[in-house]
Amino acid sequence: MSIFQEALARSDGKTLILTNGSKWGGEAPSAVQALIDVLAKEVLDPCFEEFHCYRPVVFSPIKGQGSNDSITRPWRGAAAFSGNFITVSHSFYIITKDEDVVKALTEAIEKNMATDEYQKLAYDSFTGWYYAKTCEGDRLLPPKVAEDVRRGASAITELRYPRNYAVMKTAVLGGPRFADPISQAS
């Protein structure tokens, strides 16, 4: 049985908890409230911000990667949250169609990201990086990739971006992650 099928067996029909907490093999993940409690005490790991900016992304499984279309189809378009923490292992991957869960997780994540400790860690990692909107949601791009997006189609080629060309060709550059390096450094 796949992790997705196991999550389906535990689901209330609105939320799938694939992982939530540091668990032994076969042990059920924690409830959503446990993640909200950890978000109130521990600092998220900023490295995940690069891939989804800690915003919910639209669940869209990769075809041909072992996903069973009949199982995943009802969950396509649902909000997906994933990440981990700096000082405690509590990885999470939650897919939900429940607006109350989306709201609660979004608020708890935003509050966590607003802490001085998170912002300092993010600053150390993402100074000079830029936000971009892509067909897969928000991303953070390093300076050289942001420059390619600025240059346009001639710089975003399948040869240069073989693994994520389909996503990169849709990228629209936004503003910098940190607009004022001097004020953020203190």
DSSP symbols for 63-108? TTTT--HHHHGGGTT-EEEEE-BSSS---EEEEE--HHHHHHHHHH
Is the domain of 52 the same as that of 102? yes
The answer to whether residue 159 scores a pLDDT higher than 90 is: yes
State residue 4's pLDDT score: 85
pTM (2 decimals)?
0.86
Task: Give residue-wise pLDDT tens across range 22-60.
Answer: 877 778 899 999 999 999 999 999 999 998 999 998 898
Sheet holding 137-141, edge to edge: 137-141, 130-134, 172-176
Task: Give residue-wise pLDDT tens across range 64-120.
Answer: 444 567 788 889 899 999 999 999 999 999 999 999 999 999 999 999 999 999 999
Is the domain of 79 the same as that of 51? yes
The domain boundary residue, chosen from 84, 111, 126: 126
Rounded to 5°, the CA angle 8-25-94 comes to: 40
Is the domain of 116 the same as that of 57? yes
CA distance linking residue 160 with residue 50, whole number of Å: 19
The answer to whether residue 174 scores a pLDDT higher than 90 is: yes
The domain boundary residue, chosen from 99, 126, 153: 126
Is the domain of 88 the same as that of 145? no
Q: 39: how many CB neighbours lie within 10 A of its CB?
A: 23
The answer to whether residue 16 scores a pLDDT higher than 50 is: yes
State residue 23's pLDDT score: 79
Is the domain of 8 the same as that of 99? yes
**Amino acid residing at 135:** C
The domain boundary residue, chosen from 126, 148, 167: 126
Is the domain of 111 the same as that of 151? no
Is the domain of 147 the same as that of 111? no
Q: Which domain holds residue 142?
A: 128-186
What does the DSSP 8-state code read for residue 113?
H
Q: How many separate domains does the chain show?
A: 2
The answer to whether residue 11 scores a pLDDT higher than 50 is: yes
State residue 45's pLDDT score: 97
Is the domain of 26 the same as that of 117? yes
Is the domain of 118 the same as that of 183? no
The answer to whether residue 186 scores a pLDDT higher than 90 is: no
Is the domain of 62 the same as that of 141? no
Is the domain of 141 the same as that of 72? no
Is the domain of 113 the same as that of 134? no
CA distance linking residue 63 with residue 44, whole number of Å: 30
Minimal CA–CA distance to 54: which of 82, 85, 29, 23? Answer: 82
State residue 184's pLDDT score: 40
